[in-house]
Amino acid sequence: MPYRPTSRTRARAADVRERILHAAHDQLAEGGFASAGVAAIARRAGVATGTVYRHFPSKGDLLAEVFRRASQREVDVVAAADSVEDAVEVFVRRALAAPVRAYALIAEPVDPAVDHERLAFRRAYADVFARLLPDPGDDVVAAALVGALAEAMVGPLARHDRDPDQLVETLQRFCLNAIGRTPHVVA
């Protein structure tokens, strides 16, 4: 008689899969993709290395899933913004709060499976900004804003010695000037 998984064994397998994903996410947040080896993730999840491969066909598949989840959280937070100014502030402050995660999600060299996901999420960020633009749907301008923010935050030209409030204000002003709007001045 063939083996048929029970609801209990399926639940246990789902729990192990989630533990692996959480361990991989935590590893990524601490050391980026470079630190996210399967053995390190397995150790962190409290499972054998082979168990990781039972749930994910490859390291690339595991990291692509972790990237998808982490990026979706970030996009969802930025998408809750009501204006370009707010979206810029949320994006910048979240990147500043977790610079290793920001670099990993935006620019760290990665497996092709993860890089494919990265392009999808850059498009998702651009869609968020396109919705907030004075001319909604201006994909070119939205993509340019996302690229500028990413470069300013984690690209090779990023400076990490700036005051966070000043950085937010500077990038808000840049983005608003780029779309032909005057920055809101608080008296």
Domain that holds residue 12: 7-178
**Structural domain contains residue 63:** yes
pLDDT band, very low/low/confident/very high, at 44 (cuts 50, 70, 90): very high
Establish if 59 belongs to a structural domain.
Answer: yes
Domain-embedded: residue 184: no
Domain count, the chain: 1
pLDDT digit string (tens) for 159-175?
Answer: 778 899 999 999 999 99
How far, CA to CA in Å, does 127 sit from each of 95, 120, 131, 132, 155? 19, 11, 6, 9, 21
Residue 150's CATH number: 1.10.357.10
For the full predicted model, state whether its pTM sits above 0.75.
yes
Q: Is residue 45 part of a domain?
A: yes
Least confident span in 12-16, 25-29, 85-89, 153-157: 153-157
Q: pLDDT tens digit string along 58-77? A: 999 999 999 999 999 999 99
Task: Examine residue 144 and state whether it is found in any structural domain, yes or no.
Answer: yes
| Res 91: pLDDT | 96
Domain for residue 36, yes or no? yes
pLDDT surpasses 80 at 5 = no
Determine, yes or no, domain membership for 1.
Answer: no
